[in-house]
Amino acid sequence: MPIMPKHEFSVDMTCEGCSNTKVCINSEHSVDILLLETLEKTGKTVSYLSPK
Instruction: For 11-38, write each residue's pLDDT tens digit.
Output: 888 888 777 778 888 888 888 778 888 8
- Among the listed residues 52, 39, 46, the one whose alpha carbon sits nearest the alpha carbon of residue 10: 46
pLDDT classification of 1: cutoffs 50, 70, 90: low
Q: Beta strand 6-11 with 46-51: parallel, antiparallel or unpaired?
A: antiparallel
Half-sphere exposure of 9 (CA within 13 A, CB side): 20
- Please check whether residue 48 is in contact with residue 6, taking contact to mean a CB–CB distance below 8 angstroms: no
Where are the alpha helices (H) located in 1-52, listed in sequence order?
36-40
Examine residue 43 and state whether it is found in any structural domain, yes or no.
yes
Residue 48 · residue 9 · CB < 8 Å = yes
Asked if residue 1 belongs to a domain, the reply is no
Residue 18: domain span = 6-51
pLDDT of residue 21: 77
For the chain, the domain total comes to 1
